[in-house]
Structure 1
Amino acid sequence: MIGKLDDYLRFQEAALSLRAKRQEVLASNIANADTPNYKARDIDFASALQNALKPAAPAGQMATTNPAHIAGAKDAGTLADGTPVLFRSQIQNSADSNTVDMDTERNAFADNGLRYEAGITMINQQIRAMLAAVQGGS
């Protein structure tokens, strides 16, 4: 029963988690708008969500093809859960080589925030529907 509830809410859980991480990346871009040589970053949300919804690999050691491979090395271009963080291409030239465009960042930040709130609303509706089913539709 619990497994089915987890499956029912897994999509929204994964989407909300990725939206929260994307919000942090976008906030970092806004905070570093005046930092010389800072490169704006973002997450490819669609592919990250597809990866998050794939069945998890069995727990244990990472498979290697050669005994000389280094185990467990973390890539600097990923978040803690392995979500790749991509760099944005430069929209306008700047004297300090900073690629943050504040209009783009503000729009992405607001859009992501709205989508996060929509996800919260969807999960609330799913929980209400489950409660109504358990309580007999009242």
Structure 2
Amino acid sequence: MFINSSFMKTQYLLSRAMSAESLRHTVITDNIANVDTPNFKRSEVVFEAELERALKSESPYPFKAKLTDDRHIPFYQPKDYRKVTPKVSLEYDTSYRNDKNNVDIDKEMVGAAKSTMRFNSFSSITGRYFRKMNILLRG
């Protein structure tokens, strides 16, 4: 009962978001460290769009597809949000300089600041949730 509650879902999502931000910060610092490395291609973390897609797939689909054969591909397949993981992708297609490096230091610094703010926000929200739980349990 408690495992499937909205509290646990929120805690799980906050935990995954903090993990994604931690990975994002690591990737950004790697990009910044290699700003002057020839042929270096920047990386980025992809997580939010996939998580949003998984969460939207939980809502009931308005159309029911009739499958007349087991080999038919289902019209609608919900995606489990617990299976969404942050992924690091490499940006191959751009180059800002003659040495084929595509790291923009200003963009990376802004990304690092945003990542830090998001991580701190998720951390404080998690702390508030546990303080509320502590108050509820103590009565």
- Give the TM-score of the pair, scaled to structure 2: 0.68
Are residue 110 (structure 1) and residue 113 (structure 2) matched? yes
Question: Which stretches of structure 1, 4 residues or longer, exceed 4 Å deviation after superposition?
Answer: none
Are residue 121 (structure 1) and residue 121 (structure 2) matched? no
Find the counterpart in structure 1 of residue 103 from structure 2.
Answer: 100
Deviations 1:30-79 (A, max 9, x none): 0111111111111233124347872557xxxxxxxxxxxxxxxxxxxxxx
The separation in 2 between residues aligned to 1:2 and 1:52, in whole angstroms, is 22
The separation in 2 between residues aligned to 1:13 and 1:99, in whole angstroms, is 31
The separation in 2 between residues aligned to 1:118 and 1:56, in whole angstroms, is 21
SS in 1 for 2:44: strand
Q: 1:89 to 1:102 in 2, by over 3 A?
A: farther
- Give the TM-score of the pair, scaled to structure 1: 0.68
Match of 2:30 among 19, 28, 31: 28
Name the amino acid aligned to 2:100.
Answer: S
Name the amino acid aligned to 2:117.
Answer: L
Match of 1:83 among 87, 92, 95: 87
Query: Where do 5+ consecutive residues of structure 1 fail to align?
Result: 58-80
Larger Rg: 2
Deviations 1:57-115 (A, max 9, x none): 7xxxxxxxxxxxxxxxxxxxxxxx5624241764x731211000000000001110111
SS in 1 for 2:87: coil
Over the residues paired in the alignment, what is the CA RMSD in angstroms? 2.5
Query: Where do 5+ consecutive residues of structure 2 fail to align?
Result: 56-79
Q: 1:51 to 1:85 in 2, by over 3 A?
A: farther
Q: 1:104 to 1:56 in 2, by over 3 A?
A: closer
Name the amino acid aligned to 1:106.
Answer: M
Assess if the C-alpha contact under 8 Å between 1:18 and 1:49 holds in 2: no
The separation in 2 between residues aligned to 1:88 and 1:131, in whole angstroms, is 48
Are residue 15 (structure 1) and residue 17 (structure 2) matched? yes
